[in-house]
Structure 1
Amino acid sequence: MRTKHGAIHVFTWNEDITLNNTEQFRKAMAKLIEEPADHLILNMEQVKYINSAGLGIIADGVMTARKQQKELVVAGVQGSLQEIFHIVKFSSFIKLFKTEKEAIHYFVENDNI
C-alpha cells in the first residue's frame, strides 16, 4: 500500500518476509525508490519476521536511495522486528522509527517539508 504525505512517500508492507515473497518485496522496494520523492518511508508495522534476503533488500534500497540523493527510513520497528534489526546493527546506517508518525515527523523537522 502506498500513501503520500506531501513530499514524503510511504510504502506499507503487511506480511512477514520469507522465501515465498522475497521477490515481491524486492520489486516493491525498487518501485518505492523510483517514486518521485526524496523522502521515503518503509512501514513494517505488521511484519514480525524478516529473512536475511529481506534484510539485504532493505540495505540495498537504502544505499540505492542515497545514490539518488533520497533518504529511505523504516517505520513500525517494534517487537521481534526491532530485535532482528538490533542484532544486525541496522540502526548504524538506517534510521529506524517505532511509528510512521515518528518517521514523518523526522522528515518534517529536519527538512522543513
Structure 2
Amino acid sequence: MTPTMYGIRNCDTVRKARAWLDDHGIAHGFHDYRRDGVDRTTLLRWVDELGWEALLNRAGTTFRRLPEAERAELDRERATALMLAHPSAIRRPVLDLGERRLVGFRPELYAHALAGPSRA
C-alpha cells in the first residue's frame, strides 16, 4: 500500500514531512483536509486508534480562535465533532500506512515505520 499523508498543503510541518518522504524515495498520496475535509468514518477510526487527545491540535490557531464554549469540556464526541467541523484543528500530518497511522512528523519515527520491505 502506498502511504497517504493527510494534512494542509501550506503547513510547514507537512512540507517537511513530504520532503522527507520524497528525499527517501517513498511514493505517497496526499489528502488536503482543509480543502477536501475528512469523513466521519476515517476520523473515528483515527480516534479509536490514536485517541482524540493525540489528534486535536489545541496549540493551533484554528482551535485557539474557537469560542470558549466550543473548546471547553471536551470529550471524545465533542472533540470529534469539532474536528469534523474544523479539519484544520486536526494535528498534522497524519500519515496513513494502512496498518497504522503516525501523527506529527519526527524523522526518526518515519524512518523506523518505513524501514525495509515489511515497514516494521
Fold conserved between structures, TM > 0.5: no
Q: Please state which band the TM-score falls in when normalised by the shorter chain.
A: under 0.3
**TM-score normalised to the size of structure 2?**
0.26
Q: Which has the higher contact order (CA 8 A, sep 6+)?
A: 2
Instruction: State which structure, 1 or 2, has the greater radius of gyration over its C-alpha atoms.
Output: 2
TM-score by length of 1: 0.27
